[in-house]
């Protein structure tokens, strides 16, 4: 049979030779002419009907895709085994069949269960928290080992770096810590006086302000401020060095990054946070004294005499003993998140945010546990 010029798709349905004979140029220029014929022929085709591709002339990927649509993947792979096709056309048909097999639409998934999604998110959060706890414990051990390694070697102490970080996280933080605790002390005194006045006990506002700042507010507010101010700075500094491959250069020079970058920051926080906590206590009580003098007619001499009658030393020691623990954890979390930075500005920002959130969470959690323990012990 001679192939017509304008009918690349040829079929022959006779009783002597039933089947489908395909010939002509199955290429992209003939696509618009072939597609309606393929659709019409596909509706009339039978599953076991033989297909003859011996008269097939030119073939490209567009024509192979139409053959796949006409015959289906299984029959196309079967027909591609005909010896008359040649290796190149057989490889083209099989490649198109493989490619189209991966692009077929998957069945729509079942609607997710709300309970399953909630439990999945809870599981992910627990797993993430557990992993962060393990990393923090490991980093604590590494830092303590480095501290012991240089404890008896004064030549390896980084005093210049310690002084610089002490100025950054200690001296420069005094104004914001003093101002914030002064305002909070004034607010606590005003609210306490408003409530206690209904019971005729306005004089106890002095004890309320003193005890709250000596035991809780002084160290807690200072630690939260340092978590947001200093832990983020530590993460950003070390993270930028990690992104710029400066930490790799430090290791190449034979230096220990923990000893060089972490220990000066940890020691600076251990020195600065207790001092800032004491300043916060004084500022908070001064704010309370100002409110008492202006609103409750309690002059400063009477305010001080009431303070002397209480057990201020015990409350002061409780607050100050929390400060080194908070300082150690805040510095370590900030440095650890800095070492986790991958190498992009987005990673630096993400880990900086994570350092602040983790530091504040750890500080509040430990403070709550310490408050419960001390209350049970009667301290």
Six-digit token string for 31: 């696509």
Q: Taking the model in full, what pTM does it have? A: 0.68
- Tell me the pLDDT of the chain (379 aa) as tens digits: 333 233 434 444 444 445 676 777 777 777 777 777 777 776 666 666 677 676 677 777 777 777 777 776 667 776 766 656 667 777 777 777 777 665 555 556 667 778 888 888 899 989 988 998 898 899 999 999 988 988 888 888 888 889 999 998 889 999 999 999 999 999 999 888 888 888 888 888 888 898 899 988 999 999 999 999 899 999 999 988 888 888 889 888 888 888 889 999 999 999 999 999 999 999 999 999 998 888 888 888 888 888 877 678 888 888 899 999 999 999 999 999 988 888 778 888 888 998 999 999 999 999 999 989 988 887 7
Statement to judge: residues 186 and 48 lie in one domain: no
Domain assignment of residue 6, yes or no: no
Give residues with Cβ within 8 angstroms of 192, minimum separation 6: 204, 205, 208, 209
Six-digit token string for 249: 């250069």
Domain assignment of residue 259, yes or no: yes
Domain assignment of residue 108, yes or no: no
Statement to judge: residues 225 and 349 lie in one domain: yes
Instruction: List the one residue out of 354, 64, 114, 318 whose CA is nearest residue 215.
Output: 318
Count of the separate structural domains present in the chain:
2
Rounded CA separation 336/258 (Å)? 10
Domain assignment of residue 119, yes or no: no
Domain assignment of residue 366, yes or no: yes
Statement to judge: residues 33 and 146 lie in one domain: no
Statement to judge: residues 237 and 281 lie in one domain: yes
Q: Which domain holds residue 67?
A: 20-103
Instruction: Decide: residue 296, CB within 10 A, 0-12 exposed, 13-18 middle, 19+ buried.
Output: buried
Statement to judge: residues 90 and 225 lie in one domain: no
Statement to judge: residues 326 and 263 lie in one domain: yes
Statement to judge: residues 77 and 197 lie in one domain: no
Statement to judge: residues 32 and 179 lie in one domain: no
Domain assignment of residue 244, yes or no: yes
Domain assignment of residue 120, yes or no: no
Rounded CA separation 9/29 (Å)? 14
- Would residue 200 be called left, alpha or beta, if left means φ above 0 and alpha means ψ between -120 and 50 degrees? left
Mark which of 84, 103, 122 sits at the end of a domain.
Answer: 103
pLDDT score of 101: 63
Tell me if 76 sits within 8 A of 93, measured CB to CB.
yes
Statement to judge: residues 185 and 271 lie in one domain: yes
pLDDT score of 7: 40
Domain assignment of residue 112, yes or no: no
Statement to judge: residues 338 and 201 lie in one domain: yes
Statement to judge: residues 274 and 369 lie in one domain: yes
Statement to judge: residues 196 and 329 lie in one domain: yes
Tell me if 323 sits within 8 A of 274, measured CB to CB.
yes
What number of other Cβ atoms are within 10 A of residue 248's Cβ?
A: 12
């Amino acid at each position: 049979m001679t192939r017509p010029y304008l009918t690349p798709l040829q079929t022959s349905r006779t009783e002597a030779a039933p089947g489908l004979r395909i010939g002509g140029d199955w290429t992209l220029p003939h696509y618009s002419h072939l597609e309606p014929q393929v659709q019409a022929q596909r509706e009339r085709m039978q599953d076991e009907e033989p297909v003859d591709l011996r008269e097939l002339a030119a073939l490209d990927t567009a024509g192979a895709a139409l053959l796949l649509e006409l015959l289906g993947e299984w029959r196309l792979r079967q027909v591609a085994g005909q010896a008359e096709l040649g290796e190149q056309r057989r490889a083209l048909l099989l490649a198109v069949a493989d490619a189209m097999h991966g692009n077929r639409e998957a069945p729509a998934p079942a609607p997710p269960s709300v309970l399953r999604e909630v439990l999945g998110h809870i599981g992910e959060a627990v797993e993430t928290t557990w992993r962060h706890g393990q990393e923090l414990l490991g980093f604590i051990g590494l830092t303590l080992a480095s501290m012991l390694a240089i404890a008896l070697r004064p030549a390896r102490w980084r005093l210049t770096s310690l002084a610089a970080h002490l100025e950054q996280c200690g001296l420069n933080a005094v104004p914001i810590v003093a101002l914030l605790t002064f305002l909070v002390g004034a607010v606590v005194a005003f609210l306490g006086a408003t409530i206690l006045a209904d019971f005729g006990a306005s004089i106890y506002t002095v004890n309320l302000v003193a005890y709250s700042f000596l035991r809780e507010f002084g160290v807690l507010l200072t630690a939260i401020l340092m978590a947001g101010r200093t832990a983020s700075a530590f993460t950003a500094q070390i993270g930028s060095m990690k992104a710029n491959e400066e930490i790799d250069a430090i290791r190449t020079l034979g230096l220990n990054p923990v000893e060089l970058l972490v220990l000066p920051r940890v020691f600076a926080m251990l020195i600065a946070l207790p001092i800032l906590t004491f300043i916060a206590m004084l500022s908070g009580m001064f704010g309370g004294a100002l409110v008492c003098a202006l609103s409750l007619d309690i002059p400063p001499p009477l305010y001080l005499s009431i303070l002397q009658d209480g057990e201020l030393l015990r409350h002061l020691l409780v607050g100050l003993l929390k400060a080194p623990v908070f300082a150690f954890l805040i510095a370590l979390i900030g440095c650890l998140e800095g070492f986790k930075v991958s190498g992009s500005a987005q990673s630096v920002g993400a880990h900086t945010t994570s350092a602040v959130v983790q530091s504040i969470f750890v500080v509040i959690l430990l403070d709550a546990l310490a408050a419960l323990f001390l209350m049970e012990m009667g301290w």
